[in-house]
């Protein structure tokens, strides 16, 4: 039994707090890089639920482990031991910064944990963030997201945040001995796939080393293999003091994590932070599988190669002015006069290609990492058909 799209739109109008501008499509099934709507039409998914389905829709290993764990133990709280959460914490720490892990239910909660950690390490310290950054919608994360349209309606925000231009000198001037953290996305995702230059990352590292502030990388979108290494920081010369992950970590289920290096591993003390659901056995089991799949060196090498293939093909599309990004985290800037929001909608409705506009000028492409060469070529030819 499936409700029609019109019935869902009626329910939305009456009962859903209208925070989302949904596209007029109801998805009912997914497999790999494909989605199907309620009319049985097949779509090529080059958004992957905004970089959540890095392992593809309904990966058989994720489905199997979730079914099995759900039938055995779904929840116990963090008052007791469960194996998946602690095995996942170990895997996350070993795969990156070598310290300790706090599990969460989402990206924004991972950011909250990172902010609390930084303030706990340097009490009352300020948090420095970059213009065009995006870190989430809860109050701490929102206060770290210096965008007028997102912040202004919800003032007053959390005090002690300072936004700075993406410029090494400007950054060096604001980071001081009262700074608790510099928080940044190595590639800014929500604001159009802006790769931060190596000099800026080096300047952030140097400023934190000079002052003792914590360098925090938000890898919620860039992590889990998206850029061709498990974590984006691996392709830079900079190692952060802590990182956040979420989105693709759960293989389609909601989970996030704060991962520290050794220096910050024991800053938070018993009772200082917590979450009822975080690290539950079902999501943690799914995450162990997703992390295993996304750390495979063969898959990561393929992501780098496929990213180059997709970037090169996109550059040949008539309405594309510029291609940006790394691995399979790519954006296209459109030639002047082409509206990205309208184009993404036409791609969905006319070509059954799922992509997303991050602004009126830019479209983002983040397919599942298991995408094939043939699917990449097919997606590009569907985009080209929109130019005809």
List of residues contacting ligand PLP (CB under 6 A):
50, 106-108, 111, 134-136, 185, 189-190, 218, 220-221, 246
What is the nearest approach in angstroms of ligand PLP to the Cβ of residue 109?
A: 7
**Cβ closer to ligand PLP: 218 or 375?**
218
**Cβ closer to ligand PLP: 136 or 279?**
136
**Cβ closer to ligand PLP: 227 or 351?**
227
**Cβ closer to ligand PLP: 254 or 375?**
254
**Cβ closer to ligand PLP: 220 or 257?**
220
What is the nearest approach in angstroms of ligand PLP to the Cβ of residue 72?
A: 27
For residue 73, CA distances in Å to 20, 70, 76 come to 34, 6, 8
CB neighbour class for 116 (10 Å; exposed up to 12, middle 13-18, buried from 19):
middle
What is the nearest approach in angstroms of ligand PLP to the Cβ of residue 313?
A: 25
Q: In this structure, which long-range contacts are made by residues 70-75, counting pairs with CB atoms below 8 Å and at least 24 apart in sequence?
A: 70/282, 72/281, 73/281, 74/280, 74/281, 74/282, 75/277, 75/280, 75/281, 75/282
What is the nearest approach in angstroms of ligand PLP to the Cβ of residue 40?
A: 30
**Cβ closer to ligand PLP: 85 or 183?**
183
Note whether 43 and 37 are within 8 A (CB). yes
Instruction: Give strand ranges (E) for the chain.
Output: 27-31, 34-37, 42-45, 98-104, 126-130, 161-164, 179-184, 187-188, 194-195, 214-218, 242-245, 256-261, 320-326, 329-334, 353-354, 356-359, 362-365
What is the nearest approach in angstroms of ligand PLP to the Cβ of residue 136?
A: 4
Tokens matching residue 327: 């691995």
- Residue, CB closest to ligand PLP: 107
What is the nearest approach in angstroms of ligand PLP to the Cβ of residue 100?
A: 21
CB neighbour class for 74 (10 Å; exposed up to 12, middle 13-18, buried from 19):
exposed
**Cβ closer to ligand PLP: 226 or 352?**
226
What is the nearest approach in angstroms of ligand PLP to the Cβ of residue 186?
A: 10
């Amino acid at each position: 039994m499936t409700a029609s799209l019109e019935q869902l739109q009626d329910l939305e109008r009456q009962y859903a707090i209208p925070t989302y501008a949904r596209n007029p499509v109801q998805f009912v099934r997914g497999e790999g890089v494909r989605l199907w709507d309620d009319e049985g039409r097949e779509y090529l998914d080059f958004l992957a639920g905004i970089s959540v389905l890095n392992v593809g829709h309904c990966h058989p290993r994720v489905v199997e482990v979730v079914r099995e764990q759900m039938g055995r133990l779904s929840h116990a709280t963090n008052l007791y031991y469960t194996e998946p959460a602690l095995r996942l914490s170990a895997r996350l720490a070993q795969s990156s910064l070598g310290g300790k892990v706090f599990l969460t239910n989402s990206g924004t909660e991972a950011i909250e944990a990172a902010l609390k950690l930084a303030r706990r390490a340097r009490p009352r310290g300020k948090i420095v963030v970059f213009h065009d950054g995006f870190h989430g919608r809860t109050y701490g994360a929102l206060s770290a997201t210096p965008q007028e349209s997102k912040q202004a309606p919800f003032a007053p925000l959390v005090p002690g945040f300072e936004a700075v231009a993406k410029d090494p000198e400007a950054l060096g001037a604001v980071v001081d001995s009262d700074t608790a953290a510099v928080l940044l996305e190595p590639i800014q995702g929500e604001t159009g796939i802006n790769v931060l230059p190596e000099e800026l990352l080096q300047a952030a590292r140097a400023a934190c080393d000079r002052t003792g502030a914590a360098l925090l990388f938000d890898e919620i979108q860039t992590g889990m293999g998206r850029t061709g290494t498990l974590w984006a920081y691996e392709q830079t010369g900079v190692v952060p003091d802590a990182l956040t992950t979420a989105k693709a970590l759960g293989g389609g289920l909601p989970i996030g994590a704060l991962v520290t290096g050794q220096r910050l591993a024991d800053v938070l003390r018993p009772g200082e932070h917590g979450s009822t659901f975080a690290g539950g056995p079902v999501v943690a089991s799914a995450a162990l599988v997703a992390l295993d799949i996304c750390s495979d060196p063969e898959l990561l090498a393929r992501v780098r190669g496929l990213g180059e293939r997709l970037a090169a093909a996109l550059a040949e599309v008539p309405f594309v002015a510029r291609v940006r990004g790394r691995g399979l985290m790519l954006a296209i800037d459109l030639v002047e006069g082409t509206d990205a929001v309208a184009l993404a909608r036409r791609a969905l409705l006319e070509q059954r290609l799922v992509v997303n506009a991050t602004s009126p000028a830019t479209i983002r492409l983040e397919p599942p990492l298991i995408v094939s060469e043939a699917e990449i070529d097919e997606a590009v030819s569907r985009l080209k058909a929109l130019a005809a």
